[in-house]
Amino acid sequence: MRATVLYAAGDVRIEEVPDPVLHEPTDAIVRVVRSCICGSDLWPYRHMKPDPHGRRMGHEFIGVVTETGADVGRPAVGDVVVAPFMYCDNTCEFCREGLHTSCRRGGGWGIGGVDGGQGEAVRAPLAEGTLVTLPVGADDPLIPSLLTLSDVFCTGHHAAVCARVRAGSAVAVVGDGAVGLCGVLAARRLGAEQIVLLGHHKERTDLGREFGATDVVTERGGEAVARVRELTGGDGVHSVLECVGLVDAFETSLAITRPGGAVARVGVPQYEQVPLGRAVFMANITVSGGVAPARAYIEELLPDVLEGRLEPGRVFDRTVDLDGVPGGYAAMNERRALKVMIVP
């Protein structure tokens, strides 16, 4: 089969790789019908040191089950399934606590002999725990929105949950990438009254407004902080969804948080140290979030997508086939595309 392999920064290739076969009785084989490129894929795309073995890419996909191991009770062959961006058994104590990203037996797609999602097919470990069957056909118009349940919508939702967004909250979303926009959608879904989106790209912040942002702040740094304070009566917001992963965004997030409020970070940190000194301490600001346990949220978010109340799939603004994947990476990296969908 063909799949996406990254060999070094900027060097992404579509290559012939072995067809997946069942290794464990808990595996399933899934033919990928839709995948996509993640903002987090851009970090290795920008910075990866050359690796002659390459790295299989992709961790978001919807597919059709073509084969199941002996221990897989469900999903069944023929089911259309969505995969969260890490696989998991859905039974260990971390999974039972809703922290599937810390599953005792789980792991990441494309790592340790597991296929990536940006290819024609995938061996899905722990298929019964990992894969969620969707009550739609593989060519349903809802597929793009359902695909966001793999990662980006669940990640935005995780940020909103960890930042304690509730009915009436004043919320800021830092970052107008696909996760940030899904964060806006998630905050609105949880009843936020004010949603301030911080971003610089008009077509993105316009979509953010359609998703529920009540205000857009295009300033940067100290000016952005001043503007958010102005919009919130001087105090800042209860909840900040930090959807970037850079230390500047983190600092801005802290500076616009109301005393007693929370910053939830879901952008993969591109830093080690953060300023968390006396000012943050005196304001009792909580820092929360982390890698999103998408599997924990899929069933909860599914009805709003299936019934068309929310359309997170609008973050996809470009569709490519496998041959178009390298161009898709380049387009996202150069911000010519917000999020690229792949039809293998």
CB-based contacts of 280: which residues, under 8 Å, 6+ apart? 254
- Residue closer to a copy of itself, measured from CB, 78 or 259: 259
**Letter for the amino acid at 186?**
A
Closest approach, Cβ 99 to a copy of itself, in A, equals: 4
Closest approach, Cβ 93 to a copy of itself, in A, equals: 9
User: CA dist 307 to 33, 67, 143, 152, Å?
Assistant: 21, 30, 12, 19
Closest approach, Cβ 276 to a copy of itself, in A, equals: 5
- Closest alpha carbon to 153 in 188, 113, 192, 205: 188
240-148-54 Cα angle (round to 5): 100
Closest approach, Cβ 307 to a copy of itself, in A, equals: 30
- Residue closer to a copy of itself, measured from CB, 76 or 276: 276
Q: Contact positions toward a copy of itself, by CB under 8 A?
A: 94, 97, 99, 101-102, 162, 259-260, 265, 268-269, 271-278, 280-291, 293
* Distance, CA of 106 to CA of 95 (rounded, Å): 10
- Residue closer to a copy of itself, measured from CB, 77 or 271: 271
Closest approach, Cβ 146 to a copy of itself, in A, equals: 25
**Three-state SS string across 18-39, please?**
CCCCCCCCCCEEEEEEEEECCH
- Residue closer to a copy of itself, measured from CB, 226 or 291: 291
Specify whether the CB–CB gap between 243 and 175 falls below 8 A: yes
- Residue closer to a copy of itself, measured from CB, 1 or 247: 247
- Residue closer to a copy of itself, measured from CB, 36 or 163: 163
Other CB atoms within a 10 A radius of the CB of residue 2 amount to 17
User: CA dist 284 to 229, 242, 258, 326, Å?
Assistant: 18, 18, 9, 45
Closest approach, Cβ 273 to a copy of itself, in A, equals: 4
Tokens of 190: 């949880």
